Structure 1
Amino acid sequence: MSRTALRICPLCEATCGLTLTLDGSRVTGARGDRDDVFSKGFICPKGAAFPAVDADPDRLRGPLVRVDGELREVSWEEAFDAVAAGLRPVVERHGPHAVGVVLGNPNVHTVAGALYPPLLIAGLGTRSVFTASTVDQMPKHVSSGLLFGDAHAIPVPDLDRTDHLLLIGANPLESNGSLCTAPDFPGRLRALRARGGTLTVVDPRRTRTARLADRHVAVRPGTDALLLAAMASVLVEEHLVDLGECAPHVQGVAELADALKDFTPEAVAPACDVDADTVRVLARELAAAPTAAVYGRIGSCTVPHGTLASWLVDVLNILTGNLDRPGGALFPRAATDKPPRPAGPGRGFALGRWHSRVSRHPEAKGELPLAALAEEIDTATDAGEPLRALVVVAANPVLSAPDGDRLDKALGSLDFMVSVDPYLNETSRHAHVVLPPPPPAQSPHHDFAFNTLAVRNQVRYTRPALPPEPGRMPETEILARLVLAATGRHGTDPEAVDRLVVHQTLGKAVNDPHSPVHGRDPEELAGLLTGRDGPERRLDMMLRLGPYGDGFGADPDGLTLDRLLAHPHGIDLGPLSPRLPQPLKTRSGRVELLPEPIAADLPRLRAALGERPDGLVLVGRRHLRSNNSWMHNVPALTGGTNRCTLQIHPDDAERLGVRDGQPVRVRGAGGEVTAPAEVTDALRRGVVSLPHGWGHDRPGTRLRHAAADPGVNVNQLLDGSLLDPLSGNAVLNGVPVEIAPETASGPGTGAASGAGHGAPAGLPGPGG
C-alpha cells in the first residue's frame, strides 16, 4: 500500500519541501509540499527526479576494500578495520599534515556532512584541508571575513521586498540560487517585476535569467570587478553615497573613495566592453531606487579578481545604504546559529596563517586551494612531507578541480585513500576503502548551512522517509566511525563522538555569562535532550541554545526538537531584519570598508585596465536539470538541452569555419578537448561556453548511464596555475582558448587529450 512522507530536497541550495510517495521500500513519486513554510509547493526537475536519484542502480550498497589491487565488497567491520590500519601509520610515521581531507559540496546538504567533518579535521590535527569552496565561493567568504570579521557573515538580497536587483555572474533560473537560499527564485524574480521593480543582469551570456531582465549587460568575461569599481566611483564622484542607518557602523569611506578614483567609467569601458554611459546609468539607478540589492555569484567569483568583485558587491550595497535594511541585503539568522553575543570588537579575520607546501599558497578560512591538491601529493620539497593519504568525503576533484589528469595520476600514488561516496566515480575509483552512504530517502535532513543564507528565517527538519535497507549504515554513523578510526579510537562506540560534542558544548555554554544556561549543571542539561540518536540530540541542543531556542526552559515558547517535530512542514521565523552591529566580528567592531589585503590587491586590478583578451575566452554554464558531476547518471536529468556542447556565437563560428553540431577542438593551457558545436547568439562575440561536471570517460568507474554519453571535462583546458591570490579560488571563467573545427585525423567527438597537465570540471556533488 502506498503512503507519503515529507522530505527536504538535498539536490540544490533551494531546499524545497517535497512530499514523497512510498511503496514498500521504494520512493515512487515526488511532488512539491504545498504546506512547506518556505517553498510552498515549488519543485524543479531535480526534485521531481528524486525517486530516480534515490533508486539509481549504480549506487554502491556496501563498503569496498582494495585487495590485491581490486575493490571488493566487505563487511562494515572489515572496512573500518582497513581505514584504521591505513590512516594511523601515515599519521604516526609522517605527521598529521601528511593526511589530507577533501570535502565536496554535498557535505552542506546532509546532516552528517555538517556535523562530523569538522571533528575529523580537528581530530587529525591536519592543515591539509581542501574543499569545493575554492572552485566556487571562497572569494565571498574572504571578502565577508575582511569586511565584517566573519567569513560566514554573508548578506543575502531581500528578494521579496527589494525594488531593484542587480545580478552579476548569476543565473538563478538555472542554478536555483547559490549563497542565497530561495525556493522558487524564478518566481521571486517575476514577482519583483510584477510589483514594478527593476531587474538588471550582468552576464556575457543571454541566459534565461537575462531574458527575464529589464536590462542585460553583456560584460566581457573576467572584468566584473572593474565594472563594479567604476559603479562605486560614480557614486563617489556624483555625491550619491548615502550609508543610511548603517553609517555609524562603517569606517573607511574616504579611504575607499581615494582607492577607487582611477576606476572611472571611461577608464574601465574598453576593458569591460561596456560603454561609460551604461556604467553611469547602472550606478545612478542603484542609488535612486527606494531599496536595492546587488548579488554576485559563481561567474564573478571564478575569475582572476574574484575576491575584489565579491568585496565590491557589498561595497555597492553599503554605499547606497542598502546593507542591513529591508529590501536591501541582510544577514539571515538561522535557528542553529550561536546565540547573539553583545556587539563590540571581535577577533577579526586573518589570511595566510599557513601556506601550501609547494607553491606557498596562503590558507583561507582554514583551507588550501583545491587546485593545489595534485602538487601537494606528487611534488617533493624541503618544506615538509608530501601528502601520503587522503580522506575524501562526497567529492570528485578529478572532475571538479583544475589539473585533473595530473590529480588522477597523483591519487594512484598515495599510500592510502578512503572515500565516502555513494558511487565509484572518477575519484573514488582510486580509494583503498569506499564507504557508501545510503540514498537520501533513508537519511534525515536539516539545512544547517543553507538556513544561514536563506531569504527568510525558517526552520525545518525531516526524519528519514525510509529505514536503512539491510546491509546499509546511516551516514551519520559512517562519519562518526570514520572520525574514530582516523584518530586512533577505532572500536569505540560511535555514540561516544556525539556524547563528547554535547559534553564540550554544554560545558562552554554554562560558563558563558551571555548564555541562557549560564551557571547550570551541564549533565542535567544533557539529560534533558531528546532525539532518537546522537545527531538528533545534537540538533536539539543547537536549537535550544540558538537565537530562537527555549534555553533549556528559560523561554517556554522557544524552539526545541520536539516542537520542530510537531511542525512537519516547518516553522516560519519571519522575514529578515536589520542586525548590525551584532554580526560584526572585526577588530574595530565596525564594517571595515577598505581592509589592508583588499587595498594591497587593487594595483593588480588597476593593471587590468590595460588588458585585452587575445582571441576567444571560455566561460562555463549551468543547467537546471544538472548538479555538478553526479546527476549525469540519472537518465531523467540528461538529454534535451542538458548536453555537453561548445556554445559559440554565429559570427565567431563563421570566421573559424565551425558548423552547428559538428565536432570542434578546444585548446587551453592545460590540454585539449573535442565537443560538438552549438552555434547560438545567446552569448556575446569572442566568448565560448562549455558546461562543467562532464568527462565521464575514465576507466574503472561504475556510472553506466553517464559513461554512455560522457561529454568532455572543461577543466581539462586549465593547468591549475591561475588562482585568485587572496582566496586561492581557481580561475575557471574568462580564460583564453583556441578553437578549430575537428578534422578527420584528429580525435573524435568527446575525446580529450592532455597538452601538459589536464584539468577537470565543475563543482562536486555527492560523488561529484
Structure 2
Amino acid sequence: MNTSRTLPRTCPLCEAVCGLEITLDADDHVTAVRGDKADPFSRGFICPKGATLGHLDEDPDRLTAPMIRDRATNTWRAVSWDEAFGVIRERLPQVTAAHGNQSAGLYLGNPNAHTVAGALYVPLLIRALATRNLFSASTSDQMPKQVASGLMFGDPLTVAVPDLDRTDYLLMLGANPLESNGSLCTAPDFPGRLKALRQRGGKFVVVDPRRTRTAKLADEHLFVRPGSDAYLLFGIVRTLFAEDLTDVRVPVRGLDEVRDAAAPFTPEVVAERTGVAADTVVRLARELAAAPTAAVYARIGTCTAEFGTVTQWLVDVINALTGNLDSPGGAMFANGAALGIVRTRAFRLGRWNSRVRELPEAMGELPVATLADEILTPGDGQIRAMVTVAGNPVLSAPSGPRLADAFAGLDFMVSVDRYLNETTRHADVILPPPRILQSPHYDFALLNFAVHNYARYSRPLLPLGPDELSESEIMARLALAITGQETQPGVDPLAAVDEFVIAGTLHKAGLSERRSELLGENTIEQRIDMMVRLGPYGEWAVDPVRPVESPGGSRPQARRDDRGDDADGSDSAHAGGDVAESPAHPVFRTGLNLQVLLDNPHGIDLGPLEPRLPGLLLTASKQVDLAPEALLADVARLHERLADAAPAMVLVGRRHLRSNNSWLHNVPPLVGGANRCTLHIHPDDMTRLGLDGHAVVKSAAGALTVDLEPTEDIMPGVVSLPHGWGHGDSDQSVARAHAGVNANALTDDSLVDAPSGNAVFNGVPVTLTPA
C-alpha cells in the first residue's frame, strides 16, 4: 500500500520564493521535490538548491537538542530546553546588570528573511536586549540600496524593482541571477524571464568584471573594473543631460543638482576609470532613452563596493531621468499582501553612531564591519555578550578571523542555529530550530520586492515532536530568558506575545471588536490573518488596490508612442468583480484573508505591478529626492578618487548556483562539480605572474593559499573567490571535507561604503605570488 503524499510548499532557500511539491513517505522522509506547476508565479521552475531541500531538512549533522558548552574543557552536551533557557536566564542578565544594556549585541543572519519566526519575533528579541548594538547580514549585502531608497523615497523598504515581464531594455550591473536566482528582485525563473525579454525583441545588457552565466545569456556583456560602476552610471547621467534625453514622469526635486554633480564625469573621463569605452557609455544612454520601456538594475557586486550607495542612487536617477521610474516596463514598486511596517516619517540616516569608529546607524542597525571593534575595544559600552540568530559571520563578514577571535573572548554567547559551525562554536548555548518542514512559511519581506504581485502561505508539513519547540517559541522564550523572566506554568509565552501584538495592532486600526473574527490554528496564523486582512488586498484594507482591469493571465507590454503616453492605454478592459478569470489562473484583488490563502495553497496572483507614486513617498517634499545631501557629499569623494591610481590586481566575490552564502555546503548533492572554492584568474595574469596551480593571495587584511582556476571569463587584473567557504572549524562533515578557504580573511573591515557602512568585498587590492 502506497502511503506517500505530495504536498505544496514555498521554497525558503533564496529570494525567488518558488513553489515546490514535496513528496513524503510514511516515515515522513522526503522522497522527491519538484517544481509546483500550479504556482502562478514560479510555474514549475526549480533550481538545484530547491531540489535538494529534503537533504537539508534531514541533514544528519543538524542539531536536534539544545547544547551547552563547558568552557573549561570546550566540550558540548545536549540538555533539555528548560536547562538551556535557565542558563541564559542566569548568565546573560548578569552581564547586562554589571555593564549595562549596551554590553549586549545581536547579529541576525540571512535566513531570518526567509522564516516566519525571523519576521515576527526578532523585534521581540531586540526589545528584550534593549541595545543599540544590532548587526545583520544586511550590511554585508543590500544596505546601500535601502539607504539610497530611503533618502530618495523616504522609506528604505520602498525599493524599485525591474518590471521584468514587460520591459524592452534591461541594463544589469553586478548581478548574476542565473546563479543567485535574483536579489532585492523576487523573480522565480529569472533565467526564463530574461529569455522571454529577448524573445519579444527586447535587449539585455550585463556589466560585470566576470563573464558570468547571466552575462553569457545577454545580448551584450561589458567588462568593467570592479568598484567603478558609479563612474559608468554618472557618464550615462551626464550624457542624458548633455543630449537632452531626459523625460521625467514622476514628481522630483533636485534635477539641477544632479546635472551639476554629473558634469565632471564625461564619457571620456569615466572610460579611463571603468574600462568601458566612451562611445559605449554614450550609446548606453541613448539606448536607455530611446527604448519604449527600460530598467536599470544593480545588485550585490555594486552594493559591496566602496561607492555602493552612490551607485544604487544613480540606478534610480537614471530610471527617473528616462521616464521609466514607476512606469510599466520600467522600475516599479511591488505591493505585498501583508501589512508591513507603517512609517509616517521620512527615513533618517545616522540617528546614532557606533562607539569605536562612529559609523552611522541605518534602519536601526550598525555596520557588521565594526562588530569586532565593538567587542575587542575596552571601555564603556564594550560588547561582552552576543546573541546570534541563523548567521555565520565568521565566514560571511569582513575580516572573519578577527571576528572569530572577538567571539572567543566574549563573557557569554547564545546562538539560535541548526549547526555547530565556525560562529556557533564560540557560543555557550545553542538553541536549534526544528526541521524546515515543521515550520510555517510566508514571505513577509521578499514579496515586497517581487516583479509581480503575489501571495502564498504554507502550513507546516510535519508536526513537532514531544520534545521539540517551534522556532517562534524558541524566540519568545529566549526573549523572556534575556530579561531574566521564567516561563509561567500554564502560560504559553508565544501566545501571550501574539495576543499583545494583535490587540495593539487592531486597536490602532480601530478594529478591536473584530478580534474574534481572526482565523488560524494558533496565534501565529491569527497574526498572519490579521496582516493580510489589513494589507492592500485584505477585507479590512484601509487603502485597497483598485479593481482589476486586465485578464489575469495576460501580461501586456506597455509601449510608448514617441516617448508620449502609453500607446495601448491601460492593461485592458475587464469590468466588475473582485476576481478576473483567465485561462491560466485568477487574479485576486480584494477580500484576502488566511482562508483564501489556505484555499489556494499553490499561491495567489495579485496582478502585475502598478504605478504607486506619489502615494508611497514619505519625503518632506512629497517628491522623489534626486539629490539627497548625504549622497551629493559622497560624490565629492568619488570625484577625488579619480586622481588615485587603480590597483594592479583586485579581488571580487562569486556566487554559485548550488550554494547560498555559507549554509548549503553540507548538502552532498550541492558540493562538487563547478561548485568549487577556487580562485578564478585570467590566463594572461597567470603567465605574467609566473603562477601555476596554486598561489598565495595577500591583502591588507591577511593572506590565503588558494587553488587557481584559469578562465578567460574574468577580465585581466581581476581575481575571484566564492563567498562563504572555509569550513575548517565546523562539525558539518560534508562542509568540512570540502572546506575551501575563507575569502573574508582577505577583506578588510576597516573599509566600508561611507553613507551606509556596508562592507566592501569587491575591488579589494591584492597581490599574488607563487605558492
Normalising by structure 2, we get a TM-score of 0.91
Match for 2:273 among 271, 274, 286? Answer: 271
Contact 2:668 2:734 in 1 (8 A): yes
Q: 1:70: how far off?
A: 2.6
Residues 103-125 of structure 1: per-residue CA shift (max 9 Å, x gap): 00100101101111112112322
Equivalent in the alignment of 1:592: 625
Matched, 1:504 2:509: no
Matched, 1:686 2:689: no
Distance 1:582 1:212 in 2: 37
Distance 1:663 1:210 in 2: 27
Q: 1:140: how far off?
A: 0.4
Residue type at the aligned position of 1:36: D
Q: 1:471: how far off?
A: 2.7
Distance 2:226 2:182 in 1: 20
Contact 1:498 1:538 in 2 (8 A): yes
Q: 1:427: how far off?
A: 0.4
Change (3 A) 1:484 1:339: closer
Distance 1:288 1:608 in 2: 32
Equivalent in the alignment of 1:764: none
Q: 1:613: how far off?
A: 2.1
Contact 1:339 1:547 in 2 (8 A): no
Change (3 A) 1:554 1:307: closer
Matched, 1:719 2:748: yes
Q: 1:480: how far off?
A: 1.3
Match for 1:301 among 303, 315, 318? Answer: 303
1:479-494 paired onto structure 2 within 5 Å: 479-492=475-488, 493-494=492-493
Q: 1:552: how far off?
A: 8.5
Which runs of 5 or more structure 1 residues have no equivalent in the other structure? Answer: 511-516, 743-768
Contact 2:90 2:484 in 1 (8 A): no
1:179-578 paired onto structure 2 within 5 Å: 179-244=184-249, 246=250, 249-338=251-340, 347-381=345-379, 384-492=380-488, 493-494=492-493, 495-510=495-510, 517=511, 522=512, 524-551=513-540, 558-578=591-611
Contact 1:65 1:433 in 2 (8 A): yes
Equivalent in the alignment of 1:20: 22
Q: 1:554: how far off?
A: 12
Distance 1:576 1:271 in 2: 37
Distance 1:290 1:611 in 2: 39
Contact 1:584 1:590 in 2 (8 A): yes
Q: 1:593: how far off?
A: 0.6
Distance 1:44 1:115 in 2: 28
Give the CA RMSD over aligned residues.
1.5
Q: 1:608: how far off?
A: 2.0
Equivalent in the alignment of 1:165: 170
Q: 1:484: how far off?
A: 1.7
What secondary structure does 2:509 align onto?
helix
Contact 1:525 1:552 in 2 (8 A): no
Distance 2:285 2:486 in 1: 59
Residue identity (%): 58
What secondary structure does 1:633 align onto?
coil
Equivalent in the alignment of 1:623: 656
1:729-744 paired onto structure 2 within 5 Å: 729-742=758-771
Q: 1:347: how far off?
A: 2.2
Equivalent in the alignment of 2:84: 79
Distance 1:360 1:231 in 2: 34
Contact 1:340 1:547 in 2 (8 A): no
Residue type at the aligned position of 1:728: G
Residues 449-479 of structure 1: per-residue CA shift (max 9 Å, x gap): 1100001101100011111244321111111
Equivalent in the alignment of 1:746: none
Residues 464-522 of structure 1: per-residue CA shift (max 9 Å, x gap): 11112443211111111112222343314311111111111112111xxxxxx4xxxx1
Distance 2:483 2:262 in 1: 50
Residues 5-46 of structure 1: per-residue CA shift (max 9 Å, x gap): 111001111010000010122111100010012111000000
What secondary structure does 2:602 align onto?
coil
Q: 1:610: how far off?
A: 2.5
What secondary structure does 1:631 align onto?
coil
Distance 1:337 1:331 in 2: 15
Equivalent in the alignment of 2:562: none
Contact 1:109 1:447 in 2 (8 A): yes
Distance 2:260 2:469 in 1: 59
Equivalent in the alignment of 1:135: 140
Residue type at the aligned position of 1:439: R
Residues 424-460 of structure 1: per-residue CA shift (max 9 Å, x gap): 0100111111000112111111000110000110110
Equivalent in the alignment of 1:513: none
User: Which has the larger displacement, 603-612 or 143-152?
Assistant: 603-612
Q: 1:340: how far off?
A: 9.1
Q: 1:612: how far off?
A: 3.0
Distance 2:620 2:332 in 1: 21
What secondary structure does 2:731 align onto?
coil
Residue type at the aligned position of 1:509: A
Contact 2:679 2:720 in 1 (8 A): yes
Match for 2:157 among 135, 152, 156? Answer: 152
Residue type at the aligned position of 1:308: V
Change (3 A) 1:200 1:80: same
What secondary structure does 1:116 align onto?
helix
Q: 1:155: how far off?
A: 0.6
Matched, 1:104 2:109: yes
Equivalent in the alignment of 1:117: 122
What secondary structure does 2:30 align onto?
strand
Q: 1:339: how far off?
A: 9.9
Residues 157-194 of structure 1: per-residue CA shift (max 9 Å, x gap): 00000000000000111110000000000000000000
Matched, 1:56 2:54: no
User: Which has the larger displacement, 264-273 or 115-124?
Assistant: 115-124
Contact 1:271 1:610 in 2 (8 A): no
Which runs of 5 or more structure 2 residues have no equivalent in the other structure? Answer: 545-577, 579-589
Matched, 1:29 2:32: yes
Residue type at the aligned position of 2:50: G
Q: 1:338: how far off?
A: 4.7
What secondary structure does 2:610 align onto?
coil
What secondary structure does 1:632 align onto?
coil
Contact 1:338 1:545 in 2 (8 A): no
Q: 1:739: how far off?
A: 0.7
Residue type at the aligned position of 2:318: L
User: Which has the larger displacement, 467-476 or 535-544?
Assistant: 467-476
Q: 1:579: how far off?
A: 0.5
Residues 137-163 of structure 1: per-residue CA shift (max 9 Å, x gap): 100010000000001100100000000
